[in-house]
Amino acid sequence: MLRRALLTALAVVVCSGTAVPSEESTRAQLTAYLGGVQLPDGAFADSNASNETHITPYRGAYAAIGLSLNGEAATALRFARWYVAHMNRDDQWGPGCTIYDYTFSRHPFGIASTKSAGAMDAPAGVFLTAMRYLYATGDARAQAWVVGEEVDAECIARAAYGLYQPAYGCTQAVVGYDFCLTEDNFEVWRGLGDVAWLEENAWNNSSMRSAYLDEQSKIGDGLSQMWDAKNQNYNWARSTVNGAFTRSAWTQFYPGAVTQLWPVIVGYARSDEPRSVELWQRFKAAWPSMALASPVRSPWPWTAAAAAKMGDLPFVAEYESCLNAEYAARGYPYSWEVHDAGNMLTALVWASERSLRNWPREKRRAFRFCAFRY
């Protein structure tokens, strides 16, 4: 029923073998896209739409992760420098170095803070991950910059953990919103592990490494409480007022179904664990057309990143050669955004590590009918 409804509602195009890009050309297109939306000061515009005026650092951090994984240190470093130059210091939105969203104008170029953001914990957590991957590129300039950023990183870590709710073991998304979001907490969990890694490998600070691993463990305990044994999936939110959970439904794409992908992507769960396998199979059963046509306006290549982590290379290849290829053929128009480019790069890099390049090309060249929507 879902597939029929999608094919009725959306334009149908043929995803043909001759249009399937190589992995290398896809990566080149994605990095060119990100270079094209990087603004003069290093920030990323949210998209390449001609009327785009928004800068969302959370999305930019995901773009930087993909770039660093793909070895594009210079572009990722420009964004990282911009991020730390625009952080807040202990304000009404929480302790530590939070960051707001921004708007920009092109002629003349200028940016302005919105004085708010959708969350304060998650952007900080994701940026800490971006710092680790930037350092891990091995690029001399990138590593030299990260080595000098311990104080800023620790301030960002305070923002990631700053709205921690000890009664429930989770971080509140933002002041005034009385919920912990499971997605955000997985990102914070990963970010704390990444700053701990940097403390050991870039800054030689064993005491701070231990402190962050302790905080990560507390978040991990809270995430374990998000598991709904009856539903056999993760609740997607928890009240910070009374601890009540908001249940996830597989029929709700976001946040319900997509929330289930975070554990394996961030490394909270191994891909070979029975729970991870079951969650991935249930996600695909609930949304069988995902690689062909996103059920929502956003393309969600995050699902391809999850597939890569799971070793589901056919899903990655189908996503690349169909949904991604249709966006690529049109220059990645909106609703493709910068985090989508970063996540698609991440998916391809991770899939390559699982030997995507050796997967027979003829299997990737099958003719498929793909529903595609901007």
Give one DSSP letter per residue of 46-78, joined into a string: S---TT--EE-HHHHHHHHHHHHHTT-HHHHHH
Within 10 angstroms of residue 90's Cβ, the number of other Cβ atoms is 14
pLDDT band at 124; cut points 50, 70, 90: very high
Mean pLDDT of the 291-304 span:
97
| pLDDT (0 to 100) of residue 369 | 56
Tell me the per-residue pLDDT of 339-349, one tens digit each, with 9 for 90 and over. Answer: 999 999 999 99
Distance CA 38, CA 79 (A): 8
What phi, psi does 138 have (nearest 5°)? Answer: 80, -5
Please indicate, yes or no, if residue 293 is contained in any of the structural domains.
Answer: yes
Q: Which are the contacts of 139, defined by CB distance < 8 A and separation ≥ 6?
A: 73, 74, 77
Number of separate domains in the chain: 1
Please indicate, yes or no, if residue 371 is contained in any of the structural domains.
Answer: yes
Six token digits for residue 99: 């960051």
Mean pLDDT of the 79-102 span:
91
Is the Cα dihedral 168, 212, 185, 82 positive or negative?
A: positive
Q: Which residues of 189-198 are buried (b: 16+ CB within 10 A; e: fewer)?
A: bbbbbbbbbb
Mean pLDDT of the 232-248 span:
98
Q: Which residues of 33-72 are buried (b: 16+ CB within 10 A; e: fewer)?
A: bbeebbbebbbbbbbbeeebeebbbbbbbbbbbbbbbbeb
Which residues partner with 54 through β-bridges? Answer: 103
Residue 330 is part of which domain span? 1-37+289-374
| pLDDT (0 to 100) of residue 354 | 84
Ranges assigned E (strand) in the chain: 11-15, 54-55, 102-106, 109-113, 164-165, 170-174, 177-181, 227-228, 233-234, 237-239, 245-246, 368-372
Tell me the per-residue pLDDT of 209-237, one tens digit each, with 9 for 90 and over. Answer: 999 999 999 999 999 999 999 999 999 99
3-class SS letters over 256-303:
HHHHHHHHHHHCCCCCCCHHHHHHHHHHHHHCCCCCCCCCCCCCCCHH
CB 51 within 8 A of CB 103: no
- Does 170 have pLDDT greater than 70? yes
Residue 239 DSSP SS3: strand
Please indicate, yes or no, if residue 172 is contained in any of the structural domains.
Answer: no
pTM assigned to the model:
0.92
- Does 70 have pLDDT greater than 70? yes
Least confident of 132-141, 236-245, 350-359: 350-359
User: With DSSP H G I counted as helix, E B as strand and the rest as coil, what are the percentages for the chain, rounded to 5?
Assistant: 55, 15, 35
Percent of the chain topping pLDDT 90: 86
- Does 364 have pLDDT greater than 70? no
Distance CA 276, CA 280 (A): 6
CB 318 within 8 A of CB 291: yes
Please indicate, yes or no, if residue 158 is contained in any of the structural domains.
Answer: no
Mean pLDDT of the 168-197 span:
97
Q: Which amino acid is at 208?
A: M
Report how far apart the first and last C-alpha atoms of the chain are (Å, whole number): 22
Please indicate, yes or no, if residue 83 is contained in any of the structural domains.
Answer: no
**Mean confidence (pLDDT) of the chain:** 91
| pLDDT (0 to 100) of residue 371 | 53
Please indicate, yes or no, if residue 14 is contained in any of the structural domains.
Answer: yes
Six token digits for residue 268: 């909270």
- Does 62 have pLDDT greater than 80? yes
Please indicate, yes or no, if residue 224 is contained in any of the structural domains.
Answer: no
Least Cα distance to 299 among 347, 366, 242, 351 occurs for 347
Mean pLDDT of the 161-182 span:
97
CB 43 within 8 A of CB 82: yes
Higher pLDDT, 44 or 8: 44
Higher pLDDT, 63 or 10: 63
| pLDDT (0 to 100) of residue 91 | 73
Please indicate, yes or no, if residue 257 is contained in any of the structural domains.
Answer: no
pLDDT band at 92; cut points 50, 70, 90: confident
Least confident of 55-69, 87-101, 167-181: 87-101
